[in-house]
């Protein structure tokens, strides 16, 4: 049942997360590649991306592979794991660990469209089988 590398040790910050998204979207990437995909959108400059990448490497969320004189960066944790981890954190912190409460909250606060409801219904049906 080894449930897929569950090593999400140190917390990933907001800015670092943006970098992770780029890498999850496509990897390995060089620092320049990453910058190309996030710098404009976030108003960052290269040095910022370099720093974030280093920190992610230190945290063990990203690993490097030498390619001549530069590095290629690859995530070591799966996006699904990260996302699952963060979701559970939220559910624990705000909903006493009861996902149904989260759902109720989203429902009650308008946040669910008809499409969402339909999709959730479909998933529910699937889980029943």
DSSP string, 26-63: S-SB-HHHHHHHHHHHHT--HHHHHHHHHHHHHHTSEE
Shorter beta-carbon distance to its own copies: residue 2 or 127: 127
CB of residue 41 to its own copies, shortest distance in Å = 14
Is residue 50 at the binding interface for DNA, with CB under 7 A as the rule? Answer: yes
Are 78 and 62 spatial neighbours (Cβ–Cβ below 8 Å)?
Answer: no
User: Contact letters (x/-) for DNA, 55-94, by CB under 7 A?
Assistant: x------------xxxx-----------------------
What's the min distance (Å) between Cβ of 43 and DNA?
6
Return d(Cα 109, Cα 95) in angstroms, integer. Answer: 15
- Does residue 40 touch DNA according to CB under 7 A? no
Nearer to DNA, 45 or 115 (CB): 45
Residues whose CB is less than 8 angstroms from the CB of residue 42 and which lie 6 or more positions away in sequence, other chains included: 15, 18
Q: Which does 31 bind (CB under 5 to 8 A by kind): its own copies, DNA, none?
A: DNA
Cα separation, 106 vs 51, whole angstroms: 36
Which residue in 4, 7, 9, 13 binds DNA (CB under 7 A)?
13
* Distance, CA of 68 to CA of 78 (rounded, Å): 26
List of residues contacting DNA (CB under 7 A)? 11, 13-16, 30-32, 42-45, 47-48, 50-52, 54-55, 68-71
């Amino acid at each position: 049942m080894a449930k897929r590398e569950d090593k999400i040790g140190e917390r990933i910050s907001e800015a670092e997360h943006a970098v992770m998204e780029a890498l999850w979207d496509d990897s390995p990437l060089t620092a320049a590649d990453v910058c190309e995909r996030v710098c404009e959108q976030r108003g960052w400059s290269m040095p910022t991306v370099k720093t974030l990448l280093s920190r992610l490497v230190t945290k063990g969320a990203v690993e490097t592979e030498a390619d001549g004189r530069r590095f290629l960066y690859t995530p070591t944790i799966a996006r699904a794991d990260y996302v699952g981890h963060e979701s559970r954190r939220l559910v624990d912190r705000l909903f006493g660990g009861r996902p149904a409460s989260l759902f109720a909250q989203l429902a009650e606060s308008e946040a669910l469209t008809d499409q969402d409801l339909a999709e959730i219904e479909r998933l529910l049906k699937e889980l029943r089988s």
